[in-house]
Structure 1
Amino acid sequence: MDHFSKEQRTRIMAAIRSNGTRPEILVRHYLWRQGFRYRVNLGRLPGHPDIVLRKYRTCIFVNGCFWHGHDCGAFRLPKTRVDFWRSKIERNKQRDKEVQQRLATMGWHCITVWECQLKKPMRDQTLKDLAFTLNHLYLRDHAVGYRRLEEEWGGSMAAEPDRGE
């Protein structure tokens, strides 16, 4: 049984924001301080990712554990209208999977940051891991092979000792 009237419950549910949430702002502020530049809720991409880093060809989704059915201690299925909530959350999970597959086929990397990973004890490590992952993706995607560089240059690199050729 719901403790609120239908009108009160409607007001409560309508007040829940889909973007500009506290976890999303935490991630955005961290990325900005680390020198990452991004766009927010880019509508031209499937699923309207929360954060889009074009230079890194990466979309970041900051998901709430309840709305996206994360398998963690923060997620609990409501005791009322169980069938409705179960199907809604399953639809959300399926949609998330489809959106990320579409983005991957377009050449985008997708990263999901969960709300529970941004709680105090894990926040710093989660954000550091995010920055590391972004840098790793950039280097992997933009790497110029050493041998190819050597062939184009025709000699050894400036910081390398001569190999006696």
Structure 2
Amino acid sequence: MASLISNVNYVLRRFREDPECRSPGPSAWAKSLKIDRFEPNMAEDDQRELARTMLKMEDFTRSILVTNMLGRGSLNSAIDLIVRTNIELVPLEAYSDWLAEQWGIDSTTRANESRKVLRTEDLDESLLSRVHAVCEEDFRLHERIMKAWRRVGGTHIFGSDLLDD
């Protein structure tokens, strides 16, 4: 859910940076939203409403889901790919420690974080239910990964660690 909300906040940031929607991202998003341009002085409440609209559109929700990025939109397809490729998985709460451990990097910087125009508490019950439904397979994948991480310990796990759960 946090990824979906972060993504719509990112899209709003890109619209503010490119209100004429000339670059590829803003241009495609504007087309999906059936708008020609983004009003640079748009009130934050109106931006929030635009973000809510995005969360209602499959174009904006499905593409950001982890199960779509790592599979074909389902828990099983994502686990299959994660296990077959044996990718390294790092929970966000361990990311800074992983950077230090694996790469000797001491950083907690979040340079690409977008302004939070929309927050979870801005979603009404209906939209919150929709977002929960869209994220159901991702929730299940997250729990499976976290269960393996708690069992293995450390700062990361590999895809093969999911086989034991």
Which bracket does the TM-score occupy, shorter chain normalised? under 0.3
TM-score after normalising by structure 2: 0.24
TM-score after normalising by structure 1: 0.24
- Structure having the higher helix fraction is 2
Highest Rg: 1 or 2?
A: 1
